[in-house]
Structures are given as C-alpha cells and as structure tokens.
Amino acid sequence: MPMSHKNGIDLLRDSFANKSTAFTEDEKERYGLVGLVPDVTETEDIQVQRVLLQLGTKSTDLGRYIYLIDLLDHNETLFYRTIMSDPARFLPIIYDPTIGEACLKFGHIYRQPRGMYLSITRRGKVKEILKNWPQKDVRFICVTDGGRILGLGDIGANGMGIPIGKLQLYTGCAGVPPQYLLPMYLDAGTNNEQYLHDPLYLGLRQTRPSAEALYSFVDEFVEAVQEVFPKCCIHFEDWTGSDAVHLLERYRDKYCVYNDDVQGTAGIVLAGMINAAKIKGTKLSDEKYLFLGASSAGIGLAGLLCSALVKEGLTLEQAQSQVYMFDVNGLLESTRTDLFDFQKIYAHKHKPTRDFVAAIESIRPTTIIGVSTVGGTFTQAVVEAVSGVNERPVILALSNPTEHAECTAEQAYTWSKGKAIYAAGVQFPPVHFNGQTFLPGQANNFYIFPAVGMAIFATQASRVTDEMFIEAAHAVADQVPPDLLNQGLLYPLQSGILEIEIQTAARVAILVFDSGLARVKRPKDMVAFIREHVYKPEYAAELAIETTPA
C-alpha cells in the first residue's frame, strides 16, 4: 500500500490500517491514539469473539450482512478474519443467498461508497476517472451493468452489491489480497420502472441505451483499464445473456478478461458432472444433457462441457450433438427462427415442443440442468420423467436465490425415490429418505473463480482461457473424498474452502505456465508458490503509513 500521512483519528477511519482495540501501547503513543481508543490491547481472536456476540443479536441474515459490511468499512482485517474463521457459516451471509435480498434493497441499506461508479454520461473521460481510485496497482476489476443480477433480472445500480460480494470471495475463499480488488458498476441506466421511480435509487434515471452505444462505452472502459491498470484482469459479472456472451467474445483474445456467469458457472457445474459420472461409473462422454434455460449461463456451461467432451475423445460436432436446450419458447430445434447465433449450434433436428416433460421422454437425457431463473420448474412430473428413463438421473437445479431453484433437494430425492444425483445453486440441508441420508451439494461458483483468480494473480497471466476453468473443475472434483461421494455429495465441504482453492489454484497455475501465459518466473513448487501469495487476515506489525503528529 502507498504511504500516507495520517493523524490518530484518521488512522481509525482507515479500514485498511485500523486495528481498533488491538493497537499496542507503543502504537497508541506513536500514532496519537492515546485517549481515542479504550485503554486495552486485545488480540484479534478476542475481537472476533465480540463480532460473533454482536452478530448473535441480529435476527435476520440481512441484518448480519449489513453488520458485516459495516465492519468491512471500518476494519478490513477483522472482517476477513471473521469470515475466514468459519466460511461455511459466513459465505451464505456475505453472498448467496443473502446477497439477493441485499441487492434488491441496496439503495435502502446503503451506508457509504465502496468501489467505483462509472456512468455512461462520462464517456470520453473514463481514463481520468479510473485514476481517481487510490490504489494504483489493481489486479482485478469485477464489473457489472446490473442487467441480469442473479435470477432477479435488471435491477440497475442495486446490482453493485454483486461485484462487492464477488471480490470478497476472492479474498475469503482463495486469499487474494483485498487491496488489489476493485468492484465497479458501469451505469448505463435501467429498464426497471420500480427503481426508476424509487427516490432512494442510486443510479441514472434513464432507460438502457442501444447495444451499440453500450458496447462503445464498454470499449472505452476496457481500453482505459489497460493503460491505468496494466496488470488488471477484468471479471464481467451479471450482464444480460446476449451482452455477456458477445462482450466476452469481443475481448477475450485481446485482453485479460473472463465472464464468471459464462465460464465460472460452467466450471463448477462441470465439476459436479465429473463427480456424478464417477458415482455412476461412466464418463462425461457417455452422458446426454438437457438444459432448461439457454441464456449466457447455459450457453457458457454447454460450451465448456463440449470442450471437456472433446478432451475425452469426441469431435466438437459429436459433443454438441449430446447437448440439448429448452427455453421459454420451447426446445431449441432446427426450425426455430428466434435464436441468437450462439444458440443455433444446439438447435438439433427434432419435433418442435413446448412441453419439457415430452422433451425428456423423447430425448432421454441422463442429466437435466436448470439455469432458468424460475423456481419450481422441475416439477414432480419432470423429476419422475427423467427418473423413468434413467437408473441414476442427474438433476442440477442451479438457479438462485433459493426461491428460484428449479426444485429443492427434498423434492428431487423424494420424487425420484432416492435415485437422483442432485446439486443446487444454493445450499440445502441433508435429506433423509428410506433410511438413507443424502448430502446435496451447492454448485456455487466460489469454488472456481476465486481459485482461477488466485492463479491469475500469482502468475500475472496475460489471458484467461476456457482450459483454466476445465482444469479448475477437475481439481475441485478431485477433492471430494469417496465416502462423501457415496452420499451423493458432488462438491467439497465448504469448511475447508481456502485449502481447496489453494490446491485448485496451483493446478490452474501449472496450466498457465504450460500455456506460456505467465508473466513471472516459473517456481519449482507450485503449491508453495500459491501459498506465498495468500492473504492472511492479521494486523501488520508495522503500518505502511507516515503520521502527522496529533
């Protein structure tokens, strides 16, 4: 961090440097803090105890989220020490599923700025605005235009909660140091009438522009980042389906960019498919896949899946022929005239149908994948149909928040009579059925993108490739022990998330070096190399500041 001049009270207002009640007696004297903090010197563990006590007084997860964000605004180290102390407890509070409610109410629970807000009205000045950010070595920008937030749709500036939350996962899950992370909202307006008329809405009060105008704005932003933050990777998050796909294709071969909805979602679902195949004793290339939903998440997932199938020996055409898609207008098939260019490769010759059950009975998929954003669409008839054509149907209900899941774990196991191999986009509790206990996994991107991010950070990769996400998928899948696989769990336990991500990042980093994309010298021990870069939520012995006498 750059040196800055601070007196005592300014030091307490600096979330990066603030130690609150943990300043030593020497530090209190040196930095003019005597009398400004209680006359104690507490350990970080004592401070965490106080945080946990105060969290216990909150009656809702939204209340806990607000408290934790306020803690982050005042004491970054203590925030990360808290969430990294028990990730299985805190990840659902700072991200899924609580983040959905937090975004819907973002303008109402707003406390103070975090990240950057870049409006389309500032075209021509983007480079100068980026220079306002105090940290000059930014390695990741997570950016959204709020066009398709989770399963909530266009919520405009309220979507800023997502980049904030995603970057917290870079640190909390994989140890990427937080000072290198910048959440950003590109404000091009919103078509959400509710927010346009909400007096507390924080964004531009205008409808969205044409794709041409939006892309021109994004072009200026992406090109400015190359100059202002030359080591930066741009993480696109929660753009509308067509924009997500088209913008990724626009930049991926020129700059260090990726889209988590397209590639990160694909990576974690691929990991689940790999383990589902292990449970069944098959290979990915033996399976047939039917998606409910054909937007950016589904298309990205299908593309990465096909790349993985090619690695198993299929041609690309053979791989694509095993993937079917179904959207709001029915099955994607060759007579459809309403498809985007990136959907047409999955529009096979088939009788038109708007009946998902009929599609299952005709196609006979081994795996159904819900990316519809519509809760309850895997009905009892759907589950019974896929169970009727499979001994062990794979059911992935990936939409979130919880109310958007295509079916619950209990429904999947009950309606399939215990045959289903199931995972969801949110965490469901264990299900007891017919004397068995099933462990439903959560296909959450936080197993994948923070680890890929750490690999990019450590290697200073110049590009991001699909192969990195495929390797991450295999690395995550390999870390589920056989006893948990036998209970149907497709993903590792969240309690050990940091170690899981370190091992995953090391495997991705090997691929980065092998691909000639690294901009640092190759180490002898890749796991040790990754560990050297991991952030530790501990107060610095010496603060990187110069103080002005109080």
Facing residues of 324 across strands?
A: 290
**Mean pLDDT for the chain overall:** 93
Indicate which residue of 31, 65, 95, 539 is catalytic. 95
Q: What residue type is assigned to position 325 of the chain? A: M
Q: 373 pLDDT exceeds 90?
A: no
pLDDT score recorded for residue 448 = 96
Question: Do 214 and 208 meet the contact criterion of CB atoms below 8 Å apart?
Answer: yes
Q: 17-51: per-residue pLDDT in tens?
A: 999 999 999 999 999 999 999 999 999 999 999 99
Tell me the C-alpha to C-alpha distance, in Å, between residue 304 and each of 173, 268, 293, 309.
Answer: 23, 11, 16, 9
Q: Are strands 330-331 and 323-327 parallel, antiparallel or unpaired?
A: antiparallel
pLDDT score recorded for residue 545 = 55
Residue 176 phi, psi (nearest 5): -70, 125
Q: What is the pTM of this model?
A: 0.91
Q: In a 10 Å sphere around its CB, with 0-12 CB exposed, 13-18 middle and 19+ buried, how is residue 534 labelled?
A: middle
Q: To which residue do tokens 């040790």 refer?
A: 528
| Alpha carbons 371 and 383: distance in angstroms, whole number | 16
pLDDT score recorded for residue 549 = 45
pLDDT score recorded for residue 474 = 96
pLDDT-based confidence at 6, cuts 50/70/90?
Answer: low
Q: 80 pLDDT exceeds 60?
A: yes
Q: 341 pLDDT exceeds 90?
A: no
Question: Do 18 and 12 meet the contact criterion of CB atoms below 8 Å apart?
Answer: yes
pLDDT score recorded for residue 152 = 82
Q: In a 10 Å sphere around its CB, with 0-12 CB exposed, 13-18 middle and 19+ buried, how is residue 155 labelled?
A: buried
| Alpha carbons 135 and 125: distance in angstroms, whole number | 19
Neighbours of 198 (CB within 10 A): 16
Indicate which residue of 6, 19, 166, 419 is catalytic. 166
Question: Do 225 and 124 meet the contact criterion of CB atoms below 8 Å apart?
Answer: no
- Percentage above 90 pLDDT, the chain: 87
| Alpha carbons 536 and 544: distance in angstroms, whole number | 16
pLDDT score recorded for residue 97 = 83
Q: Nearest-CA neighbor of 321 among 297, 288, 298?
A: 288
Q: Nearest-CA neighbor of 390 among 356, 365, 355?
A: 365
Q: 248-291: per-residue pLDDT in tens?
A: 999 999 999 999 988 998 999 999 999 999 999 999 999 999 99
Q: 523 pLDDT exceeds 90?
A: yes
Token digits of residue 5: 């001049």
Active site residue 166: yes
Neighbours of 279 (CB within 10 A): 17
pLDDT score recorded for residue 295 = 83
Helix (H/G/I), strand (E/B), else coil: 422: strand
Q: 36-45: per-residue pLDDT in tens?
A: 999 999 999 9
pLDDT score recorded for residue 4 = 45
- Percentage above 70 pLDDT, the chain: 97
Q: 548 pLDDT exceeds 70?
A: no
CA 540 to chain CA centroid, Å, is 29
Helix/strand/coil (H/E/C) assignment for every residue in 182-220: EEEEEECCCCCHHHHCCCCCCCCCCCCCCHHHHHHHHHH
Q: 462-506: per-residue pLDDT in tens?
A: 999 999 999 999 999 999 999 999 999 999 998 899 999 999 999
CA 200 to chain CA centroid, Å, is 27
Please state the length of the chain: 550
pLDDT score recorded for residue 550 = 42
pLDDT-based confidence at 401, cuts 50/70/90?
Answer: confident
Beta strands in 75-175 (DSSP E): 116-119, 140-144
pLDDT score recorded for residue 296 = 77
Task: Render 296-359 in DSSP notation, one character per residue.
Answer: HHHHHHHHHHHHHHHHTT--HHHHHHTEEEEETTEE-BTT--S--TTTGGG-BS------HHHH
Using CA of residue 438, residue 439, residue 441, residue 442, what is the dihedral sign? positive
Kindly give the residue spans of alpha helices, DSSP state H, lying in 349-461.
356-363, 380-388, 409-415, 449-459
Least confident of 4-8, 296-300, 515-519: 4-8
